[in-house]
Amino acid sequence: MSEIFEEKILYHYEHPSNRGVIEGAQIKHRDLNTLCGDQVTIYASLDGDVISDIKFQGVGCAISMASTSMLTEKVKGMNIKDVLELGQKDVLDMLGIESLTPMRVKCAMLGLRTLQKGIIEYTAKSGAQSPPANGSYS
C-alpha cells in the first residue's frame, strides 16, 4: 500500500465524514465483524430511490472506519439499486488498495455490507422492487 493511500485511510479514520445519526432515516442497519468486533450502524435518508443523506456510527479499526467514511461520501446521491451493485473491487479501489488479507477484507467491506443489508430490509418492508444485484452484501 502506498504512503499516500495510508495517509488517506488514516485521515478518514481520524476525521470521518458523515459521522452521526439521522433521526427518522428510512434505512437504519447495524452489523458487526464477528472476527474482530468492529461494528457499524448506517443511517440513510432517501429521496425516491436516491440516497439524499447518509451517516454512520461505529467503532473499529482504521480500515473499517475509513472505508465506511469514504463509502458515505461515494454513495450520497446514488440510486439504491446502484449501491447494491457495488462490491469488493469498488471498496478496495476507493481505499486505494489492490489486495488485503481475508480478515482485512471483512473490515473493509463492513460499511458496504451494512448499507446493502439495510437497503434490502428497506425494500422488503416498503414493497419496492430492488432485488440483490451481485450478492456482495452477504
Quote the pTM value. Answer: 0.87
Cell digits of residue 99: 489486495
N-term to C-term CA, the chain: 26
Does residue 117 lie in a domain region? yes
Domain ranges, residue 76:
3-126
Closest CA to 136 of 90, 71, 72, 77: 90
pLDDT at 1: 46
How many distinct structural domains can be found in the chain?
1
The better pLDDT of the pair 132, 124 is held by 124
Question: Mean pLDDT of all residues in the chain?
Answer: 90
Does residue 42 lie in a domain region? yes
pLDDT tens readout for residues 59-117: 999 999 999 999 999 999 999 999 999 999 999 999 988 888 888 999 999 999 999 99
Cell digits of residue 88: 469488493
**CATH code for the domain of 84:** 3.90.1010.10
